[in-house]
Structures are given as structure tokens and as C-alpha cells.
């Protein structure tokens, strides 16, 4: 009589156990054939690369489970001492938990790696997330194993709580930067490649968002390193949201003798001719001109509004458009004014001013004065 997994079989153990192990070997072969015919072909058709690695880990774990089942059945089928049976059962359970820890951490780490390699916002922090995930799963597995061995985990939890509090206080700034980095990765107010400007005046391209700091490359090709906590608390202007395309407002002033209708027409002709010739200048939406801000002290001011491909293109586009506008205005005889002030003085006021200047000159004989117009 053999007791096999709570089932009494009227056969001696030397017959039942070999038959049972033969059954386990057959199950292992069936798992291999099923995985080779179906699972591996399915994994090969998917777009993900990591599912092949996880499938190999799963097949290896299933074979190990068969071995653990054999150990458990053998220990309970044979007439062994209770302590030895208990030890074998504990070993089988611990082995099963360890394989679950391995599979769980393997699956999540591969998932994070696959997702992080495809999505730029978390690519820089995939290593940190993988290590944290692996540590959490291993810690949970160890707590389950200790509890199964009869070890009280309450003191361990208390120790971990006190230790975590001490570590949190010691690494307050580091943890603040870490969680601020997670906020930046999840909420995604900025992404790698965006051109941003902070309320501190720093601006440039986002090069990298790490777990502690972000790197911004300025136009002079310098790197500004900003802690994540300060970055998350800053007022950020993202010139790439909602899209990289942006409006360029170009102010142009002409003399009061100019015809506003003609000026508007000439500006439109210049910018329309430049579309396709000036890199970064867009033809859609169509450019337009507004007589704004209008009347200034010495000029009629117009604003030319056009679209550029991205923030940095505005500089080259302004450069080319200003040259073309200046050339076209010269050809059409339109004057671009500069500040001129004409002051009219009465004869008595002028004499008084001249005498006042002369008295100041007498007081400082060492000063040298240019001859005044009336003295020439």
C-alpha cells in the first residue's frame, strides 16, 4: 500500500514511485513539444523581443516545478521520519516560491525594459525602475519564505520601517529629486528633444531626464544641469507643445509718407516669395500683415505674422526676411525712418542758453569746447 498525494494505491512504493517519475518525465516532454509547436511560434510572431526570453524562463521553471512535485511526492510516499518529511515539504515549498520570485521579477523587468526602450520619456530611468522592481519582489518573496518557516516577520517589518524612516530623512533631497523625476516621466510636461525656457531664464533643448537631474543643452552648446525637484517646481515654457510649429511676429516700421496699403502688399509679396527658399519658413497657415502697433513717434509700424517650423528656426528666418524687406523697400522708394527730433528755439531763449553755457565755461577754464555755430 502506497499513499500518493492523499490517495492510497494498493501497490508497493518501488512500483508506484518509478511510474510516477516516468509520468513526470512524460509531462516534461509534453511541455517541450507544446512550447515548441505553439508558444515559441506565437512569441516569434509578436513585435516584442523580450517575450522569447520570458518564455524560456517559464519553460525552465515548469521543469523545476515537476522536480519539486517529485520531491514532495517521494517524501510523503516513503515511510520516512516526520522531521525529514517536514524538511522535504518545506524545501519543495521554498523552491516553488523562489521560482515564482524569479518569474515575477523576470517578467516585470523584461516588460519595463521593452517599454522603456520604445518610449523615450522613461528610457533614461529603466535601469533604476528595473532594480527597484526586482528588490520589491525579492523582499516580498523572502517575507513569505520566512513566514512559512515559522519566523515572525513583525520585528523585521518594524526594523524595516524604522530603517526606511532613517534612510528617508538622510536622503531627503535625493528622494525628492527621484519622485520629482517620476512625476516628470509620468505627467510628461517636457520630453527629451523639446526646447524649453524656465522662469530662471535658462533655456535650451532637453537632453536627458534622469532619476536625480535633467540636462538642458543651450544654444551656445553648453549643458545646464537642473535637479528634478527644482525643475518640477519651475514655470516651464515648452516651445514644442502643443506642436513644434510656432508663429513669428516681425515688426516693420516705415515713414509717415508711405502708403499703408502698398506697404502691406509688399510685405506679403516678400514673405510669399521666401516660402520654399528660406529653410524653416512655412507657407501654411498663410502669412498675413497687421497695421499694429500702428502710429509711433516717428514711424508707421506694421507686424508681419508667419509660421516657422520650430523655435530655433525663427532666427534664420528673421535674418533672411529682414534683408529681403530692406532690399524691396529700397527698390520701391519706401523709407525706413530713424528717430529725428527738430527743436525750435526763440531768439531770446537761445541767447539765454548760450550765455548760460558761457558762464559755465568761464567757471571751468580747463574745459575745451567746440566752436558754436554762431561763432564760426
Give the Cα separation of 284 and 287 in Å (integer). 8
What are the boundaries of each domain within the chain? 2-169, 180-238, 245-376
User: What was the pLDDT predicted at 360?
Assistant: 43
Rounded average pLDDT per 10-residue block, the chain, 376 residues: 51 59 70 66 62 66 71 66 74 81 77 66 63 80 79 72 69 72 78 89 87 86 89 89 90 90 92 90 91 88 92 91 93 84 66 45 43 45
CB of 121 closer than 8 Å to CB of 192: yes
**Overall pTM surpassing 0.85 (yes/no):** no
Counted residue by residue, the chain has a size of 376
Strands ordered across the beta sheet of 213-217: 223-227, 213-217, 203-209, 195-198, 236-238
Q: Does 176 sit behind a cis peptide bond, omega within 30 degrees of 0 on the bond before it?
A: no
User: What was the pLDDT predicted at 62?
Assistant: 73
User: What was the pLDDT predicted at 69?
Assistant: 73
Give the Cα separation of 246 and 244 in Å (integer). 6
Enter the CATH code of domain 245-376: 3.30.70.100
Instruction: Dig out the grid coordinates for 138 from the structure.
Output: 525579492
Determine the Cα angle at 112 with ends 236 and 237, to 5°: 5
> How many C-beta atoms lie closer than 10 Å to residue 143's C-beta?
15
Fold of 180-238: SH3 type barrels. (2.30.30)
User: What was the pLDDT predicted at 366?
Assistant: 44
User: What was the pLDDT predicted at 276?
Assistant: 86
Give the Cα separation of 365 and 360 in Å (integer). 9
Could you tell me the CA-to-CA distances from 13 to 3, 7, 73, 78, 85 in Å, in that order?
9, 13, 11, 7, 16
Coil, helix or strand at residue 144? helix
User: What was the pLDDT predicted at 6?
Assistant: 53
User: What was the pLDDT predicted at 367?
Assistant: 42
> How many C-beta atoms lie closer than 10 Å to residue 206's C-beta?
20
Check residue 206 and report its DSSP letter.
E
Amino acid at each position: 500500500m502506497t499513499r500518493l498525494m492523499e490517495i492510497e494505491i494498493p501497490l508497493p512504493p518501488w512500483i508506484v514511485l518509478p511510474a510516477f517519475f516516468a509520468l513526470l518525465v512524460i509531462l516534461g516532454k509534453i511541455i517541450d513539444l507544446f512550447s515548441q509547436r505553439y508558444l515559441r511560434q506565437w512569441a516569434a510572431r509578436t513585435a516584442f523581443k523580450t517575450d522569447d526570453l520570458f518564455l524560456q524562463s517559464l519553460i525552465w521553471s515548469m521543469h523545476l516545478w515537476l522536480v519539486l512535485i517529485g520531491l514532495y511526492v517521494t517524501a510523503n510516499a516513503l515511510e520516512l521520519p516526520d522531521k525529514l518529511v517536514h524538511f522535504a515539504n518545506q524545501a519543495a515549498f521554498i523552491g516553488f516560491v523562489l521560482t515564482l520570485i524569479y518569474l515575477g521579477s523576470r517578467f516585470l523587468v523584461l516588460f519595463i525594459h521593452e517599454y522603456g526602450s520604445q518610449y523615450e520619456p522613461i528610457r533614461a530611468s529603466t535601469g533604476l525602475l528595473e532594480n527597484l522592481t526586482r528588490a520589491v519582489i525579492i523582499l516580498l518573496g523572502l517575507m513569505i519564505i520566512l513566514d512559512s518557516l515559522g519566523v515572525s516577520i513583525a520585528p523585521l517589518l518594524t526594523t524595516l520601517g524604522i530603517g526606511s524612516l532613517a534612510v528617508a530623512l538622510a536622503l531627503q533631497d535625493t528622494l525628492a529629486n527621484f519622485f520629482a523625476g517620476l512625476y516628470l516621466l509620468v505627467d510628461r510636461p517636457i520630453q527629451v528633444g523639446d526646447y524649453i525656457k524656465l522662469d530662471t531664464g535658462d533655456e535650451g533643448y532637453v537632453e536627458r531626464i534622469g532619476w536625480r537631474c535633467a540636462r538642458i543643452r543651450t544654444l551656445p552648446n553648453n549643458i545646464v544641469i537642473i535637479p528634478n525637484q527644482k525643475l518640477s517646481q519651475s514655470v516651464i515654457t515648452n516651445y514644442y507643445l502643443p506642436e513644434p510649429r510656432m508663429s513669428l511676429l516681425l515688426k516693420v516700421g516705415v515713414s509717415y509718407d508711405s502708403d499703408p496699403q502698398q506697404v502691406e502688399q509688399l510685405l506679403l509679396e516678400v514673405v510669399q516669395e521666401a516660402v520654399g527658399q528660406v529653410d524653416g519658413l512655412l507657407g501654411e497657415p498663410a502669412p498675413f500683415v497687421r497695421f499694429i502697433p500702428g502710429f509711433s513717434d516717428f514711424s508707421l509700424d506694421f507686424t508681419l505674422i508667419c509660421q516657422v517650423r520650430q523655435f530655433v528656426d525663427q532666427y534664420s528666418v528673421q535674418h533672411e526676411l529682414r534683408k529681403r524687406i530692406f532690399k524691396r523697400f529700397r527698390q520701391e522708394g519706401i523709407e525706413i525712418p530713424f528717430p529725428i527730433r527738430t527743436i525750435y528755439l526763440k531768439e531770446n531763449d537761445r541767447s539765454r542758453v548760450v550765455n548760460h553755457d558761457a558762464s559755465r565755461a568761464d567757471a571751468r577754464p580747463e574745459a575745451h569746447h567746440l566752436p558754436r555755430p554762431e561763432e564760426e
